[in-house]
Structure 1
């Protein structure tokens, strides 16, 4: 009897030891590192942080669901970097993130930083979903580049046609800040406006380091323009519109999403009234998942989301969902699944990419500054 008890005890101990050995393997969680970069300091810090918050909200949601990929529990972690909106720094940031063994990249925000950094991610075979709207980003021939927002081609064309056909603007001067973003947006606006019957009476380059644009504006004033289109970043725009009003130019300033911000309205003051700006996408309250996203964002960060957060959220979910469908976190394995993405999102009923990595179903909304607030002129236009 004693021998039987000893044998049973030995079997029980062996079973417990085997279970103990198995538990660490079962409980071991693989960390999947996602890279992120945007301006987190300087004049665009609020935009970069808003974008980062959208990424973090998506990662938090996925991690809370205890995901399993390739039969192993995984936890997504964010490797975030500040590129300061500087192309040279963006290249260094990109190489550092690649050296950190990221599995996917979310960012950058600006056109030039994104385009230069994308070459490093592409060479390393790392899929990237970026915020930039510059057409050149997805025209480089890489299979690894995807977008969170619509392109300048879509935005510039819709805005060019809209101001001519719906607002009756016929004589237009164009100014761009010589960045990739500014030039691309201005080029597309010019083509669309001309095609709709407008006359482009001048095109000037704006020096981003200058603070006095009166000489250039004096030449424009003599052309008796109905509007000035500005392609570029927000920083010089408030000064530009203030000096327009000082010189008696009552024509509206027209621009892309860079100007559609509360900070532009605050800095420009009364001079901003009449400014027309377009944004990629639609207002948060009109997005398919906008109300729920805003509720969750406020709960997590204690403030309302900005322009970029919902798009960053959708981009992050697209990348993680591609890993789930491919049942792999290896970039080469989930890249084809990312290219084949078709899923509902916060910003659109269907998130899907064309052969170049551009969004198939982009939207544009046009706003006008009235009494210190942005007033929607036109509902989102599907392309």
Structure 2
């Protein structure tokens, strides 16, 4: 009897060793602003990625004969290029070879070099065209670029709103500057008159001097290349100064935070462009929203579903090539297509989405309300 107990214990130990050997942990890093004015976006993005990882671990999936346990490693890059590069190095040193983020173009451009040199893959929503113009094979932009976001807003202003005279303000970040330039480029082609281009920072809160200058030029719209923490007080100050022009922007002002910060100064007077189709109209959209709300007790914001898709895209590619080696997974993503919540992720040679709809929103009741997609 005693022998049987020992034998069973030995078999149990062997079984435990075998189980451990048959499991592999894959770290997925999330890098974004988790502190400061943009923390609401960073946390929303992180929540999207976490939801995907929890669902993957609940299955779980098998790759190369091993059950894969995914682990989310999230770091605050503060939306700062220097901090973002430090996060990249920390991830690389910690064995992270799959990354969702960075959120900010100013972070993604320098950090992508570090990830590339280490053979890591990144799936980013950073919109500046330069992100994918560096020639790095492991960089995938999982949404529309500034070229699409800025140009389609300019087209909408010219063709649908019938505006003639516009002005531009940008916050001098890589994102804001890039977005503003793309808007200007298309605005000129569409026949809009550019009455002025003013500059601010991503820390400013007082835009009175700039707005007063633009008020004198009787512009019908002001396009702002920047983020919601600046766009919201800008909208308030436009109202205070009696400026009736529309405030236009990109995806970073297409957020409930814009309505929250701007109050009654943010309504149908504010329009923004966001990459992707409407979540509510996407086949898997309602289910994702329900799952997200159940898990976090709040609705997803701009990019939660995209970050969810990015994590799922990595897992899907691992299964396709039956490997967790990014040197094999990267080419599978480059040449394949993954159907996620927000659409089909298929990339061109640079790592940009082959197709990405842009949706134009205004605000109703403090939240973005879709007008049209094209």
One fold, TM greater than 0.5? Answer: yes
Cα distance change on mapping 1:218 and 1:105 into 2, 3 Å: same
Give the distance between the partners of 1:309 and 1:212, measured in 2 at CA. 30
Shift of 1:267: 2.5
SS for the counterpart of 2:223 is: strand
**Worse-superposed segment, 87-96 or 211-220:** 211-220
Shift of 1:188: 0.9
Give the distance between the partners of 1:208 and 1:133, measured in 2 at CA. 16
> 1:276: which partner in 2?
271
> 1:150: which partner in 2?
144
Give the distance between the partners of 2:86 and 2:134, measured in 1 at CA. 20
SS for the counterpart of 1:94 is: helix
SS for the counterpart of 1:344 is: strand
State yes or no: 1:234 paired with 2:228: yes
Contact 1:185 1:256 in 2 (8 A): yes
Shift of 1:361: 2.0
Contact 1:105 1:128 in 2 (8 A): yes
Shift of 1:253: 0.8
Give the distance between the partners of 2:143 and 2:335, measured in 1 at CA. 17
Give the distance between the partners of 1:332 and 1:265, measured in 2 at CA. 43
- Describe the superposition over 1:177-214 as per-residue Cα deviations: whole angstroms up to 9, x where unpaired: 10111111111111111111111111111234443322
Give the distance between the partners of 1:213 and 1:204, measured in 2 at CA. 10
> 2:355: which partner in 1?
361
Cα distance change on mapping 1:64 and 1:370 into 2, 3 Å: closer
SS for the counterpart of 1:359 is: coil
- Describe the superposition over 1:192-247 as per-residue Cα deviations: whole angstroms up to 9, x where unpaired: 11111111111111234443322222221221111111111111212222222222
**Worse-superposed segment, 332-341 or 158-167:** 332-341
SS for the counterpart of 1:375 is: strand
Give the distance between the partners of 1:173 and 1:332, measured in 2 at CA. 46
Contact 2:169 2:225 in 1 (8 A): yes
State yes or no: 1:332 paired with 2:332: no
> 2:257: which partner in 1?
263
SS for the counterpart of 1:174 is: strand
SS for the counterpart of 1:30 is: strand
**Worse-superposed segment, 28-37 or 215-224:** 215-224
SS for the counterpart of 2:68 is: strand
SS for the counterpart of 2:340 is: coil
Cα distance change on mapping 1:210 and 1:334 into 2, 3 Å: closer
> 2:175: which partner in 1?
181
Contact 1:103 1:329 in 2 (8 A): no
SS for the counterpart of 1:365 is: strand
1:138 to 129, 132, 139: 132
Cα distance change on mapping 1:113 and 1:267 into 2, 3 Å: same
Give the distance between the partners of 2:333 and 2:9, measured in 1 at CA. 42
1:207 to 194, 201, 210: 201
Cα distance change on mapping 1:105 and 1:267 into 2, 3 Å: closer
- Describe the superposition over 1:249-292 as per-residue Cα deviations: whole angstroms up to 9, x where unpaired: 11111111221222222332332231111111233211221011
Give the distance between the partners of 2:364 and 2:96, measured in 1 at CA. 45
SS for the counterpart of 1:218 is: helix
Give the count of matched residue pairs. 370
> 2:311: which partner in 1?
316
Give the distance between the partners of 1:266 and 1:299, measured in 2 at CA. 22
> 1:84: which partner in 2?
78
Whichever of the two has the greater Rg, that structure is 1
Give the distance between the partners of 2:203 and 2:58, measured in 1 at CA. 46
Contact 1:37 1:106 in 2 (8 A): yes
Give the distance between the partners of 1:17 and 1:328, measured in 2 at CA. 33
Contact 1:368 1:374 in 2 (8 A): yes
Shift of 1:155: 0.8
Give the distance between the partners of 2:37 and 2:118, measured in 1 at CA. 31
Shift of 1:121: 0.5
Shift of 1:104: 1.0
